[in-house]
Amino acid sequence: MRWLRATTIGALLLAIGCAADRAREARTSWAGVALGSYAVGVSVRRLRAANDDEAAYVALVWRPVTRADGPGATLEALAGALCPDLDASGGARLGGCFPRLAGTIAGAAPAESDDALERLAGLRLAAALGGEPAAGDFPLAVVVGSLRGSAIEFASLGEALASRGWVVAAVAPSAPPAEAEFDAASVVRVRAAIRAAVDELSAAPGIDASRIAVVAWSFGGVPAALEAAADPRVDALVSLDSALRYAYGAELIRAAPDYRPSSFEGAFLSVEAGIDNEVAKDDALAAELAASPPRVVAVAGLDHGGFPDFAGALAAGVGSGAARAAFQRDRAAMIEMTAAFLAEIPAR
């Protein structure tokens, strides 16, 4: 049974929006998302060999800090940390390190793409590079997205959760492939990367390993679901319009050698895009996967591509007017839903 029917979504979004508006008066991120009480630091972590592929994956890690080493990082500075060997600056560095962002902007405004990248290069995030870790142990959330994605796609989510007392590791390929292969081999590689992030970070100082969540968007929902079901350390699974609800993803999950129905016993939230697409769906998989019915909500104003930050950064740094404001409010509501759900997860 669904947690919230369509008739209640509007009321939920209104309530979340009002709460977010009150919080924004005190502290808001670059993406229009209400932040918690912690300052946030961000760092790059090269994961150890994942599936015998040395340094194939990188994690961008946001964590609560007591003080930040300077103001929030610019997108250009974060590109420099993620792509230190890239000999470029400004918009060229941004486009070289984040080719998908450059492609998104070029597709939306071809004649203005270079100027748009230059402006976005100076966009200042809420998180500063580095910082002194806050005292205490904090729960861990591992985030994974598309096969061709970048860890920077989840900056607004990482900042928001870290400001509320989570350590967030967004896992992505060090060098995203030019083409994505939605096949079993890709599932195995990404599962190994998720496992490496959980292994390394759950054993690190400042981590409360009794609360671990995996959050996924797009293709990432396939390896995330399988790894969450296989790893008893994972207490929560969040699908952000991930391949869990798409037929190709359900097919890959059911074909995995270790998949068993009802194998995930933790808390499960599925946030769906309210703007539908033509990709075939399989809504039965979510209920089949979990031992308990998942909570299912939809965000009316978001399509599949609106969940990660590349569309969000584009709207914040390039777009204008009421459409941009509405889009940002819907994305903020999606992040609020995720944060509120994770805050309910008890320690083991």
pTM of the model: 0.89
Q: What is the pLDDT of residue 101?
A: 84
At 26, the pLDDT band (50, 70, 90 cuts) reads very low
At 105, the pLDDT band (50, 70, 90 cuts) reads confident
Domain of residue 216, residue span = 6-73+124-343
- Residue 211, domain member (yes or no): yes
Kindly state the average pLDDT of the residues 335-348: 92
Kindly state the average pLDDT of the residues 156-168: 97
pLDDT at residue 14 tops 50: no
Q: Average pLDDT, whole number, for the chain?
A: 86
- The pLDDT tens digits for 197-235 are 999 999 999 999 999 999 999 999 999 999 999 999 999
CB 331 within 8 A of CB 156: yes
- Residue 1, domain member (yes or no): no
Q: What is the pLDDT of residue 8?
A: 29
Structural domain total, the chain: 1
- The pLDDT tens digits for 31-70 are 889 999 999 999 999 887 555 555 589 999 999 998 766 6
At 277, the pLDDT band (50, 70, 90 cuts) reads very high
- Residue 118, domain member (yes or no): no
Q: What is the pLDDT of residue 283?
A: 87
- The pLDDT tens digits for 75-101 are 999 999 999 999 999 999 998 998 888
pLDDT at residue 157 tops 90: yes
- Residue 194, domain member (yes or no): yes
Q: What is the pLDDT of residue 115?
A: 87
- Residue 232, domain member (yes or no): yes
5-9, 193-197, 238-242, 329-333: least confident range:
5-9
- Residue 59, domain member (yes or no): yes
Q: What is the pLDDT of residue 9?
A: 29
Kindly state the average pLDDT of the residues 102-111: 78
- Residue 34, domain member (yes or no): yes
Q: What is the pLDDT of residue 181?
A: 84
Q: Which CATH number fits the domain that encloses residue 13?
A: 3.40.50.1820
At 109, the pLDDT band (50, 70, 90 cuts) reads confident
Kindly state the average pLDDT of the residues 322-331: 84
At 10, the pLDDT band (50, 70, 90 cuts) reads very low
Q: What is the pLDDT of residue 25?
A: 39
- Residue 94, domain member (yes or no): no
